[in-house]
A and B are shown apart, each in its own frame.
Chain A
Amino acid sequence: MGCLLAWCSNIIYFSGLSLCGEGSCSICVHARSRCVAMVDHLPNLGREAIMLKEIGFSSIDELFSDIPEGVRRDSPLNLPPPQTEEEILADARRLLGANVAINSRPNFLGAGLYENFVPSMVVAMATRGEFLTSYTPYQPEVSQGMLQALWEFQTMVSELVALPVSNVSMYDASTAAAEALNCAVRVHNKKATQKNVVYVTEWLPEHRLSVIENYSCGAETEIRTLKWDENGMVDLKSAESAHGSCAVYVEQPNPFGVIDENLAELKQIIGENTALVVGVNATSLGLLEAPGNWGADIVVAEGQPFGIGPTAGGPIYGIYACTEKYLRQMPGRIVGKTFDDKGKDAFTLTLSTREQHIRRHKATSNICSNETLIALMGGIHMALLGPMGIQKLALRNAAACQVTMAGILAHPKIDLLFTNGASYNEFTVVLPGPAKDALDHLDKLGVTAGLALCDVMSGADESWLHITATDQTNSEDVAALVDGLGNWIEGLGQSKEMVNHE
């Protein structure tokens, strides 16, 4: 019974020996149970002494003897005890079970990240271990599968947006937009009459604008604002001001959900020496003309609706496509087709001379890890949809948007913020009271009614409610939203009356 000290358990479970010689004292038993939590991860647990001896060391501590005493930790980590898989899973179920999944109730929250349905086969294929547990395909000879899948992804994105070049993913739509503007500055700054200047449309949400601002630090790019007309479309008269700048960034539909009909003309106005960067709703392209066909030079998008659920905001992936003019200045990884030395078709990463591991501080971007696996999921989803499938998906989104809008606008006290244009996937209404109050009220009724734009958009009125309807929205959801909003507005009237009485 010499085994009484806390350190004993440490020695036991990494030497695999029972110091007390019996193996039955409580601490040894405890040590074993702790050991169990890791034994399914560490194949050499309990064999340390043998391995150390073989290489001429007497203890694990000796392997850390190169860490100077002055910087060594003098106490163990103050963390909870190890857990087995079963215990972790139970905790995960309990904790995550406290969340409310958006699809467990009527949901109208989107704004760039959408409730969607991902066919079962997508995850089943993408999480095959050979894909899931591979690194960046630096060794093409044993990575043909991922490389080909990504090259096919590039082709499908290229077809979707009608531009010849696509990379294998950015982190999300916002970093894709930000890096697109940086790319445009590198390409156009020399000839630009407005040096280091880009324009972005007004009313960008903070989660876009702030990312663009942070990413613009390196080139010290000045970000100016392009105005809209009264319909929420780019004001073509003031667009002249962007002529001679490096780039103009617009969104289609705009952040309020309005489809902008002026963009082809916008490209005519700004001309060849200013990049038109379009942030597009990816599923809308089953219905709306591909941006490459009306003048877009770089197209960025949130890829999430293809491939993965909203997953609390990540991992998702940004789509990045462009014309050949921008190819050598674009960020991210690209796959090219080539041959092996016997003449057989093969794929490999290419144009890596743009990248940080070769060019270091002169790289076109610092991006290294990206969102490849999620792009793979997106590619599988796109392949399964096919041409008719993407059209139908867009039609479902468009129909849900129309039905929801019609239901809500039937209420006399709710108006559209922009009344003239068409909308896709989402739209914005002006409520007779604060949108946050409406959201709280409907939340209690079990409806997630959308987004109070003042939460994410500087200058937005507190009465503006952003509503998203997707292919997952059904008539019952719409009825619940309409009823709930009606109920809330009724309550508003009553509380006003009460105030008047007082």
Chain B
Amino acid sequence: MSDLFAFDGAPEAGYAQPAPLLSDEEAIAGIPESIRRKSLPRWPRASEPELVRHYTWLSRRNFGIDTGFYPLGSCTMKHNPRVNEKIVQMATMNDLHPLAPTSHLQGLMAIFYEMQEMLAHCAGMDTVTLQPVAGAQGEFAAIRCIQEYHRSNGEGSRDKVIVPDSAHGTNPASAAMCGYQIIEIPSGDDGRLDLEALKAVVGDDTAAMMVTNPSTLGIFEPEIAEATEIVHNAGGQMYYDGANFNAILGKTSPGLMGFDAVHYNLHKTFSQPHGGGGPGSGPIGVKSHLAQFLPKPLVVREKDEQGLDGWSYGWEDPVNSIGKVQQWHGNSGAVVRAWAFYRRYGRDLEKMSEHAVLNANYLRHRILNPSEELASKIPAMPIDGAPARVVKHEFTLSMSPVKDATGVSGKDVAKRLLDYGYMAPTLYFPMIVPECLMVEPTETESKEVLDKFAEDFLTILTEDPELVKTAPHTTDVSRVDEVWAARNLVLRHSLGE
């Protein structure tokens, strides 16, 4: 094991810096002795070659899309084009200050403007802000806008937000952070939105309903227009969770479905690399009646012959803005990467969605329809999380029949997939599907990869249950004791204490 804190080399080891402009004594002259640091942080004392080897060693113990197939449902783990990294590393991107004069930021603002317009167009919304830096922050910002909208109409007493039980956890968490009471409605037996359940809770206390469509089951909600109408008739607003936007680009839009607000996940649909947990980017789009409440500022432009491509770009604050949700103008780097990604497809972005959906349906079919030879060896097959002729970009499998027959759980199969060189699908979500595995192949996987994955997945179902239950066997560590971690909470290196 490579231990960062075992590096204890020369006292001055580390990054060599130019000399300060003053002597040390002069530099700290005005700072009272009482508030000066007494002992330095016990960081490692290591040279560059040692650290390069340490971090390379760590990287080799980490699984990314670059390593192998990453069918993590709801996360849209598509290929991350490297040109995007090259672009954001340019000095004229990396070394920009958000408070610099707008004359220093015209190129960035041109890209921002194009992204605002492109995202609004794709989602059928009127105005987009790029400020929220994650999907959850987008939800929070948009629900805050909806809150202010109701207040401005004298309807601040609307204090409930409706979410289906299949919703991402961020939906209820974000609405609660705005102070809303959450009303969770059960899905129908088929996993779809239940209009009767919705009608039973909707009323003059409804502020909004938050919906993911296609749902977290990967199914397009056939009665979405009806649901929208029910909520609107009660005076509520409809919020679209864009986590699954990758499935429908160019085919339909939240605007066509009747939604008032939407967030986009640029780290899903538009390939901002997820970096082990972030950064993300969660712009929001709204219909015109909500635009005056958006976080500030937005990018606007006017004709200017001297300007960049004939335009001059500036900031503008929406008149009744909720203010700021992030310190600056959002994750600009993620926005620029997403811009470079969308430019690859341009008007043919729907091809991206077509291939995402084709791959999901293909893989689903391959898994649920094994060859006769394989089928004869499989004691029990998983079943569809939600019956449907077609799915969108992802699908769910209930592993309950497998567990009942052999004792092998969804988690066991997920862990065994790691041995085969795959990332595991999303596990036990949505909660409404028992023993759920949620599989999202994305458009950037080849037929060969999908064929092989299906074959390996089915092969696991034929294996000795004990082998699967004790998986993984070939990874850097075997099954990790998460309970011990939570009970003992070793949250930092002891540094020998």
CB neighbours of A60 from chain B (8 A): 354, 357-358
Q: Any chain A CB within 8 A of the CB of B291?
A: no
Give the size range of A's interface with the partner: 35 or more
**CB <8 Å contact, A141 and B477:** yes
CB neighbours of B361 from chain A (8 A): 55, 57, 63
**CB <8 Å contact, A288 and B279:** no
Q: Any chain B CB within 8 A of the CB of A58?
A: no
* Residue among A91, A125, A214 facing the most chain B CB atoms (10 A cut-off): A214
The contact of B390 among A66, A367, A374, by CB within 8 Å, is A66
CA distance A79 to B68 in the complex (A): 32
- The interface stretch among B131-139, B201-209, B460-468 is B131-139
Which residue from chain B places its CB closest to the CB of A339 in the assembled complex?
Answer: B481
CA distance A163 to B332 in the complex (A): 31
What sequence of 0s and 1s flags, for each residue 161-181 of chain A, a beta carbon within 8 Å of any chain B beta carbon?
000111011011111000000
**CB <8 Å contact, B418 and A211:** no
CB neighbours of B437 from chain A (8 A): none
Residues of B within 8 A of A (CB-CB), count: 204
CB distance from A49 to the nearest CB of B (A): 11
The contact of A369 among B60, B134, B147, B224, by CB within 8 Å, is B134
The contact of A218 among B52, B72, B176, B418, by CB within 8 Å, is B176
The contact of A366 among B62, B136, B446, by CB within 8 Å, is B136
A133 with B273, Cβ < 8 A, contacts A76-B347, A211-B324, A356-B136 known: yes
A99 with B256, Cβ < 8 A, contacts A175-B327, A218-B178 known: no
A44 with B447, Cβ < 8 A, contacts A99-B106, A130-B66, A312-B105 known: yes
Which residue from chain B places its CB closest to the CB of A440 in the assembled complex?
Answer: B101
CA distance A355 to B170 in the complex (A): 9
- The interface stretch among A187-195, A398-406, A480-488 is A398-406
A63 with B390, Cβ < 8 A, contacts A313-B332, A387-B45 known: yes
CB distance from A171 to the nearest CB of B (A): 5
**CB <8 Å contact, B326 and A314:** yes
Q: Any chain B CB within 8 A of the CB of A467?
A: no
CA distance A320 to B366 in the complex (A): 46
CA distance A150 to B72 in the complex (A): 21
CB neighbours of A143 from chain B (8 A): 61-63, 276
> Which residues of A from 439 to 488 have beta carbons under 8 Å from B?
439, 443, 448, 451, 455-456, 471, 473-475
Q: Any chain A CB within 8 A of the CB of B365?
A: yes
Q: Any chain B CB within 8 A of the CB of A139?
A: yes
CB neighbours of A389 from chain B (8 A): 14-15, 17, 43
CA distance A99 to B86 in the complex (A): 16
**CB <8 Å contact, B446 and A44:** yes
A152 with B5, Cβ < 8 A, contacts A41-B79, A92-B87 known: yes
**CB <8 Å contact, B88 and A134:** no
CB neighbours of A93 from chain B (8 A): 90
Q: Any chain A CB within 8 A of the CB of B197?
A: no
CA distance A158 to B96 in the complex (A): 30
CB distance from A404 to the nearest CB of B (A): 9
Which residue from chain A places its CB closest to the CB of B247 in the assembled complex?
Answer: A64
Q: Any chain B CB within 8 A of the CB of A376?
A: yes
**CB <8 Å contact, A439 and B101:** yes
CA distance A56 to B369 in the complex (A): 12
Q: Any chain A CB within 8 A of the CB of B188?
A: no
A350 with B486, Cβ < 8 A, contacts A313-B332, A384-B15 known: yes
- The interface stretch among B371-379, B399-407, B488-496 is B488-496
A62 with B94, Cβ < 8 A, contacts A82-B344, A131-B59, A142-B423 known: no
A135 with B91, Cβ < 8 A, contacts A66-B222, A66-B388, A387-B41 known: no
* Residue among A92, A96, A171, A386 facing the most chain B CB atoms (10 A cut-off): A386
A387 with B43, Cβ < 8 A, contacts A336-B488, A336-B489, A396-B21 known: yes
**CB <8 Å contact, B174 and A366:** yes
Which residue from chain B places its CB closest to the CB of A211 in the assembled complex?
Answer: B324
The contact of A314 among B79, B133, B485, by CB within 8 Å, is B133
Q: Any chain B CB within 8 A of the CB of A373?
A: yes
Which residue from chain B places its CB closest to the CB of A290 in the assembled complex?
Answer: B37
CA distance A142 to B172 in the complex (A): 30
* Residue among B17, B54, B334, B485 facing the most chain A CB atoms (10 A cut-off): B485
**CB <8 Å contact, A134 and B443:** no
A38 with B348, Cβ < 8 A, contacts A56-B365, A396-B20 known: yes
A130 with B362, Cβ < 8 A, contacts A366-B140, A399-B22 known: no
Q: Any chain A CB within 8 A of the CB of B250?
A: yes
Q: Any chain B CB within 8 A of the CB of A392?
A: yes
- 28 CB-based A-B contacts, threshold 8 Å: A63-B358, A67-B220, A67-B252, A73-B251, A79-B118, A98-B107, A101-B91, A111-B99, A119-B15, A121-B52, A128-B56, A129-B65, A130-B67, A133-B77, A141-B477, A142-B475, A145-B60, A151-B491, A207-B324, A217-B147, A261-B32, A294-B35, A356-B173, A369-B278, A373-B279, A374-B275, A396-B20, A402-B21
Contacts A110-B97, A400-B21 aside, 14 further interface pairs with beta carbons under 8 A come to A72-B252, A101-B91, A143-B61, A288-B35, A288-B36, A313-B327, A313-B329, A316-B327, A336-B490, A356-B136, A360-B172, A361-B176, A366-B140, A368-B170
Top 3 closest pairs, chain A to chain B, by CB: A313-B328, A373-B275, A129-B66
